[in-house]
Chains A and B, each alone.
Chain A
Amino acid sequence: MNRFMPVLATTVVFGVGFAICSLIYPNFASPRVVMNLLTDNAFLGIVAVGMTFVIISGGIDLSVGSVIGFTTVFLALAIERAGMPPLTAFVVVLLLCALFGALMGAAIQYFELPAFIVTLAGMFLARGASFLLSTESIPITAPFYGELAEHALLLPGGFRLTVPAMIMLAVVALCAVLLHFTRFGANVYALGGSRSAAALMGIEVGRTTVLIYTLSSVLAGISGIVFSLYTSSGYSLSAVGVELDAIGAAVIGGTLLSGGHGFIFGTFIGVLIQGLIQTYISFDGMLSSWWAKIATGLLLFCFIALQQLMLLVARRRRPRASGAGAR
Chain B
Amino acid sequence: MVQPQQALPEARSDLRNGETPMNFKALNAAVVICGALVCSGAGAKELTIGFSQIGSESGWRAAETTVSKAEAKKRNINFKIADAQQKQENQIRAIRSFIAQGVDAIFLAPVVATGWNAVLREAKEAKIPVVLLDRDIDPSGKDLYLTAVTSDSVHEGKVAGEWLVKAVGSKSCNVVELQGTVGASVAANRKKGFEQGIAGHANLKIVRSQTGDFTRAKGKEVMESFIKADGGGKSICAVYAHNDDMMVGAIQAMKEAGLKPGSDVLTVSIDAVPDIFKAMAAGEANATVELTPDMAGPAFDAIIAYKAKGTTPPKWIQTASKLYTGADNPQAVYESKKDLGY
Contact = CB atoms under 8 A, between A and B. Distances in A.
B is a partner of A: yes
Interface of A: 25-27, 30, 32-33, 36, 39-40, 43, 137-139, 141, 146, 149-150, 227, 230-233, 235, 238-240, 278-279, 281-286, 288-290
Contacts of B138: 139
Contacts of B10: 26
B23 interface: no
24 contacts: A26-B13, A27-B13, A27-B100, A27-B101, A39-B96, A137-B115, A139-B115, A139-B140, A146-B117, A227-B89, A230-B89, A230-B92, A230-B118, A231-B114, A232-B114, A233-B112, A233-B114, A238-B89, A282-B50, A283-B97, A285-B79, A285-B82, A289-B90, A290-B83
Nearest to A228: B115
Contact of A285 (B80, B89, B115, B118): B80
B99 A32 contact: yes
Nearest to B113: A137
B127 interface: no
Interface string B11-27: 00110010100000000
A32 B100 contact: yes
A36 B97 CA distance: 8
- Count chain B CB atoms within 10 A of each CB in A32, A146, A290 and give the residue with the most: A32
Nearest to B79: A285
A77 B13 CA distance: 45
B203 interface: no
A307 to B, nearest CB: 29
Nearest to B117: A232
Nearest to B98: A282
Interface in B59-97: 78-85, 87-90, 92-94, 96-97
A30 B14 CA distance: 12
A36 B96 contact: yes
Contacts of B96: 36, 39-40
B307 to A, nearest CB: 19
A30 B87 contact: no
A289 B85 contact: yes
A30 B100 contact: yes
B313 interface: no
A289 B13 CA distance: 26
A70 to B, nearest CB: 16
A218 to B, nearest CB: 21
B121 interface: yes
A326 B295 CA distance: 78
Nearest to A76: B114
Contacts of B232: none
B115 A40 contact: no
Contacts of A25: 101
Contacts of B92: 40, 230-231
B233 interface: no
Interface in B178-218: none
Contact of B115 (A43, A150, A233, A290): A233
A288 B94 CA distance: 13
Nearest to B84: A289
B137 to A, nearest CB: 10
B121 A150 contact: yes
B23 to A, nearest CB: 17
A278 B90 CA distance: 9
Given A137-B114, A149-B118, A240 B87 contact: yes
A282 B53 CA distance: 12
Contacts of A139: 114-115, 138, 140
A141 B89 CA distance: 19
A227 B115 CA distance: 10
Nearest to B85: A289
- Nearest 3 CB-CB pairings of A with B: A285-B80, A231-B115, A233-B115
A141 B138 CA distance: 11
Given A149-B118, A285-B81, A285-B82, A279 B97 contact: yes
B48 to A, nearest CB: 8
Given A230-B89, A231-B88, A286 B80 contact: yes
Contacts of A290: 83, 85
Contacts of A227: 89
